[in-house]
Structure 1
Amino acid sequence: MSKQSVSHAYRAGIFHCLADPTSTATPEEAYEYYADGILVINDEGKVERLGPADQILPTLPSGFPITTYPNAIITPGFIDTHNHFPQTEMIAAFGEQLLDWLETYTFPTESKFQSLEYAQQVAGVYLDELLRNGTTTAMAFSSVHAESAEALFKEAYQRDMCLITGKVLMDRHAPETVRDTPEAGCTQSRTLIEQWHGKGRLHYAVTPRFAITSTPEQLEAAGHLLKEYDGLYMQTHLSENHKEIAWISELFPERCHYLDVYDHYGLVGPRSVFAHGIHLCEDEIQRLARQDAAISFCPTSNLFLGSGLFNLKQMKQHKVKVSLGSDVGAGTSFSMLQTLNEAYKVTQMRGDKLSPFESFYLATLAGAETLQLDDRLGNFLPGKEADFIVLDLHSTPLMQYRMNNCNNVFETLFVLCILGDDRNIKETFVKGISRHQRDQATH
């Protein structure tokens, strides 16, 4: 955790969400936007003040350091609530749907992560790529090897990033090189928890890959592990693919549906994040809402693997917590802006429209709420940790041309969601420290 923060002010357009735009009487109640704003960060790397430049500038001491970004908007850093760091090197692998894709690409790739040295090399690439795309907080799968989680924790700690991960639990229906046992999985998880959980900005997630690859004994052990330590998360997959769901029914005929498998073993709760949730029955949706569990919406991977179209409107109607996941490597981009592009198209295919205000909510504050970190992340309320990004509105000739024809912040944000990518990320800050500057090295 190198470098120290110093008090500093940043001037640009500033946008952040205060609430879910679908939950307020008017969209304007859900956000704050300053066309010419000032964000003041203190020497602890936390938000001190936010407001219009003409009001805040006269209150700053003489000589107070100010960085001004023309043609830019500052927003909170993006929060990615589902991805797989060991799959970084296999992003854009051709031609399979979920179960065949795991066998053909995922398991052979993840078998390499028994090497700590190799895992550290990939972890560095993965975290630098997140920062280059403006993602400052991530919930990530490691591989089944304890070395993979150790490597990712170590690299994230050095960058002072907020990161949640855990070694995968997987003791069947996978090659021997990526399997553990219920006993070994819990023993290794405990060691990682005691070393890393709560260190800096790091958190541990109990991580059964999905119920297909864990025996009842391992799922039961995962449930016990979740109760052993305070503040643990649980992450897994749910109802991504029709063949997957059919196989779950064969493996667990005594359970009434897919979610019931996890619920039976004590894995459904307020700190549980389920990736996908495309093909859920009414009872599953109601149970997710009742138990305050969350879904990570992963549009690029859902389209890439041909899994289906997530029903965001239905989840919102049932008050299920939803945030956004890149799902790299089945997901096709680390960029939350590109992920929002695909999310918009998914909702269009379902006859709905995803507003840019809701899009930025999903990519920032909703992620913090999903992870129960909204007391410290997700927007610029005073006292929150200063993870933020500078979005360049003139990053390409087309972007500049289109932005010159935007009449309000709604249009500006929507253009970012549809045309935006990593080129828009001018700078990424983690707790007030610049960790990525476009066209320069990350550190």
Structure 2
Amino acid sequence: MHTPLLEKLSILADSAKYDVSCSSSGGKRKNEGKGLGNAEGMGICHSYTEDGRCVSLLKILLTNFCIFDCAYCVSRKSNDVKRAAFTVQEVVDLTINFYRRNYIEGLFLSSGIFKNADYTMERLVRVAKKLRLEHKFNGYIHLKTIPGASEELVKEAGLYADRLSVNIELPTEQSLQSLAPEKNFKEVLTPMGHIKDQLVLVKEEKKLFKSTLSFAPAGQSTQLIVGATPESDRQILTLADGLYQNFNLKRVYYSGYVPVVTDSRLPIISTPPIIRENRLYQADWLVRLYGFGVNELLDEQNPQLDLQIDPKLAWALRNRHVFPQEINTADYEMILRVPGIGIKSAKKIVAARRFAHLTWEHLRQIGVVLKRAKYFITCGGRSLETREWDEEAIRRRIIFGEKGSRASLWGSQLDLFQQAG
């Protein structure tokens, strides 16, 4: 690899690191024995680490040249950074060479927008097409769909990519106009709609014709930046829930705002909102997989997620009237709402109690986190707790541990902290 290409790789890999929507879960592209790579059944890692740990997804931009001037983006046209661009063949060669050296198992390819959306998207598609057709590459490919690209190019991209993503970036049209005035929601949602329609069409055709070509078998995703604009967690989760419902997204990724450029329109922060980002992921999980509604987790009076405790525990503490649940008779849906019980454990409980009356020891063996669950369940009519704990006491015991003196000490410090803040 000659020096100019190494320099391009350094620049364009660094520029791509702020996009978190590169999960590859769901890809099932098989290798029939006549090509390179295999995306079936693999847990493909998603990040490039500086200390040399497992690198299995080549994550780069095609170019960091961009005609847009988004306030939060390190590649915006007014930012004074070193620019570079790969040719289509260079990306193909890098992917194949890295794969053969066992550095990667797939490719995540995004790009700044140069000339226009279609010009950029056509080159992204050409990379995937060359890998699939000329090199018989069966590894994972994730392509970033460029907002404003034509429906034909989006459909072609889905024929060669395992996953497509279109980043919304900001939660409201107002914020988008403020920080990224060249963009609008319509140009983002339109390709999302094209991808969804094509996924539905291919699914129906496959019922009739087994030879129907696959289209983005790992679905589509998007990214939202958290903390660059004033939207509440409730607004963000409501938007995400709408995207899941209306566009069949596999995932919405939340990226805590990182101040990589200076701009008067952006907030001044010392550290990215990592805890808030984590709470949003937890709440998103509850909405997608646990049957919670956004309005159950957040409302107009409480629009922000609790940063001290996870949203499932916060909901349970606010709704003590529905607890305790008897583990031997409770519905599966209610068992899922008990803090300390996940989906796998809930399924095991429902399956096991058909054959035996469950005890606390059974729950331990199943994997229930009893230090959380014991405040919200009974087992055979019995509780592990001999006294009735109020909401604040449970919160403190879970956060700070169960030894009374320690919980009391930390609780007092917490009170002082809250009064001071």
TM-score (norm 2): 0.37
Which structure exhibits the higher relative contact order, with contacts defined as CA atoms closer than 8 Å and separated by 6 or more residues? 1
Larger radius of gyration: 2
TM-score (norm 1): 0.35
